[in-house]
Amino acid sequence: MCGLFKALFSVVEALEWKAFIMVHSDDNYGREGAASVLAAARRSSLRPCPVDTIEVLSNKPADYYQNIVRRMLEAEVTGVVFFGILTSFEQLGAAMQYVGGAGHLQFILADSAFAQTITVPYSLGLITTSLTSRHIPELQDYFLSMDLSTQPAQGLSARDMYMKLKQCRLPGAEQPNEWPECPYPTEEERRREYVQETYTEAAVLAVYSYAKALKLAHQEKCDGERGLCQELVQMSSGEFFTDYLKILDMSFGEDDRVDSLRSNPEMEARRIRFDSNGDIEQTDFDIWNLQDVDGVKQFVKVRCY
């Protein structure tokens, strides 16, 4: 997450924060993320001081979240860095409208693939970061090619995912009965509604990293033998990470069959190489600000790091 924290503290520098409150959700994701943010703050040349660290519990009464907001105000700083799940942030946001002075708090969401869905009160001015990623039309074409009229014998199908997303029943579907019926969408409608998730490119890079490293390990340990050889089976996860995954250095080419990640007249081929911290190099982040655009809350990209 090194790149994420560099992007985060570039925002802190621009806002001229000297101190901030660290708030996180009550799960491993929130706790570990908050610990990483605090460690990055200690290493930062800006030395922004965390004056308080607050863990936000889930599914508590409204007055609990209002007291959390009051505790933030008592710290007498405007900056709040939040790391955690959307539900916890929404509960805080809902509580802010009942606490005087809460509108002066300035929030940064440290890692928020969910940011586009935020509608809570007092969220205008919110700043968040997200990975800069390329559009991967190969995945879009794959998902659009899925047949919504068929149901596999087991497992989740494209049909199930579509009905869950739309909260409706396609023709012939028996469950769930409480959802209204809906017609099959046209390809044009599905293409128009398709939105690539923030971490789609990162997921593709992760799959290729593992596959390339495993191929290298197989070549070195199995001496041309097909399938899993005994030496490969006995390899430890630490050896795989250190000797094969962390040393990986590849650029997408024709054989990888993801044309959108190959070189083109506008950009270089996507390269996978890890730094000493185990983070992928060449990672950029977009900085977003929640603004009022013609009466509608919208995230506007204000900077790229």
Whether pLDDT at 53 is above 80:
yes
Whether pLDDT at 170 is above 70:
yes
150 and 170 in a single domain? The answer is yes
Whether pLDDT at 191 is above 70:
yes
Each residue of 200-227: pLDDT tens digit?
888 899 999 999 999 999 999 999 889 8
- Residue 279 domain-assigned (yes or no): no
65 and 141 in a single domain? The answer is no
**pLDDT (0 to 100) of residue 112:** 59
The CATH number of the domain holding residue 31 is 3.40.50.2300
Q: In terms of residue numbers, what domain contains 299?
A: 2-132+284-304
Each residue of 95-129: pLDDT tens digit?
988 998 888 888 888 765 545 556 666 666 788 88
Whether pLDDT at 39 is above 70:
yes
Most confident among 63-72, 141-150, 181-190 (mean pLDDT): 63-72
For 158, phi then psi, to 5°, come to -60, -35
**pLDDT (0 to 100) of residue 213:** 95
- Residue 181 domain-assigned (yes or no): yes
Contact criterion met (CB below 8 Å) for 18 and 49: yes
- From start to end of 86-240, where are the E strands? 106-109, 127-131
**pLDDT (0 to 100) of residue 86:** 79
44 and 113 in a single domain? The answer is yes
pTM value is 0.66
| b/e burial code for range 168-198 (CB count within 10 A of at least 16 → b) | ebbeebeeeeeeeeeeeeeeeebeeeeeeeb
Whether pLDDT at 47 is above 70:
no
- The residue among 69, 93, 97, 80 whose CA lies nearest residue 23 is 80
CB proximity list for 258: less than 8 A, separation 6 or greater: 136, 138, 204, 208, 252
Q: Which residue has the higher pLDDT, 64 or 299?
A: 64
Where a domain ends, among 193, 209, 225?
193
**pLDDT (0 to 100) of residue 124:** 65
Lowest mean pLDDT among 83-92, 139-148, 250-259, 282-291: 282-291
Looking at the structure of the chain, the number of domains it has is: 3
